[in-house]
Amino acid sequence: MMIDPDAYPEQILAAARDRIRALERRRARRDARRAGVTRPRAWIRGLRGKGAPEDG
């Protein structure tokens, strides 16, 4: 996705935030898979840094 250089700063920031969020989601899913966790709720909780204890 190309960002229009004449776009307002808010649009550029929003696009950057979306890309960062997507990267974090991908990384969290990969890390969870590597740790043997298959339930989505577990990696969402881990991504937000709160929730269940370390039992998966």
Predicted local distance difference test score (pLDDT) of residue 49: 62
Q: Are the CB atoms for 39 and 33 separated by under 8 Å?
A: no
Mean pLDDT of 45-52: 60
Q: Are the CB atoms for 43 and 32 separated by under 8 Å?
A: yes
CA nearest 15: which of 44, 48, 23, 36?
23
Rg for the chain, CA atoms, rounded: 15
Global confidence as pTM: 0.44
**Domain boundaries along the sequence of the chain:** 9-48
pLDDT in tens, 14-43: 999 999 999 998 998 888 778 776 666 665
Predicted local distance difference test score (pLDDT) of residue 18: 93
